[in-house]
């Protein structure tokens, strides 16, 4: 794949990641508002929220995975000392992860009014409105102001080191999201993280 094609696909995946984030935020607001309105009318709305919440989680996880396409290019930029490009790609890559973590509790629980989030009635709506929406809006503004694909360049070929590092980060991010969703044991994550870090050191020394 030639450099221009790489940039084109990178831009498409960036837009796809943003669309997934917007869908996740809109889903949280609509479903959260619906649960809040019908909480006193329809029984077991708290259980319904638990059943509907994984859909939003999947949208966030897909946005994170798609954004990881920037990581091997950012690693390649660092290797070639293209610091500005590397920083832009790093911000675009890490943005969806920050939105996910902030929406799922780091911001919605600790920087805003916690008591309202502890009630089943407003829990999902609270997360989406006070964290998801502002963070997603901020990410959109970052892309609008600083994401300029026409000014970026891509190496003719991305090294094995960049791909392997990206693969390890993908596994770590996916497993971390799995812990938050209750799908992965923290012990399994810890062991995998240690193995991944050791492998990363070996890769950094040996791979091309």
Rounded to two decimals, the pTM is 0.76
Q: How far apart are CA 169 and CA 171, in angstroms?
A: 5
The H or E element that residue 206 is part of is: helix 186-206
pLDDT in tens, 156-171: 556 666 666 666 676 6
Q: How far apart are CA 30 and CA 22, in angstroms?
A: 12
pLDDT in tens, 84-140: 888 999 999 899 988 988 887 666 566 555 555 455 677 788 888 888 899 999 999
Q: How far apart are CA 124 and CA 31, in angstroms?
A: 8
Q: How far apart are CA 141 and CA 135, in angstroms?
A: 10
Radius of gyration in angstroms for the set of CA atoms belonging to the chain, rounded to a whole number: 19
């Amino acid at each position: 794949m030639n450099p221009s094609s790489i940039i084109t696909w990178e831009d498409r995946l960036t837009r796809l990641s943003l669309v997934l984030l917007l869908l996740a935020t809109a889903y949280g607001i609509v479903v959260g508002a619906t649960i809040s309105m019908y909480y006193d009318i329809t029984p077991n709305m708290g259980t319904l929220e638990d059943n509907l919440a994984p859909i939003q989680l999947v949208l966030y996880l897909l946005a994170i995975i798609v954004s990881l396409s920037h990581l091997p290019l950012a690693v390649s930029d660092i290797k070639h000392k293209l610091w500005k490009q590397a920083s832009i790609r790093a911000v675009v890559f890490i943005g969806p992860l920050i939105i996910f973590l902030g929406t799922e509790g780091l911001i919605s629980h600790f920087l805003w009014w916690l008591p309202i989030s502890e009630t089943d009635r407003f829990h999902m709506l609270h997360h989406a409105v006070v964290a998801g929406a502002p963070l997603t809006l901020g990410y959109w503004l970052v892309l609008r102001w600083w994401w300029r694909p026409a000014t970026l360049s891509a190496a003719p070929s991305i090294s094995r080191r960049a791909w392997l590092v990206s693969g390890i980060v993908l596994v770590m991010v996916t497993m971390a999201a799995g812990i938050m969703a209750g799908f992965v044991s923290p012990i399994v994550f810890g062991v995998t993280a240690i193995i991944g870090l050791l492998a990363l050191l070996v890769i950094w020394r040996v791979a091309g």
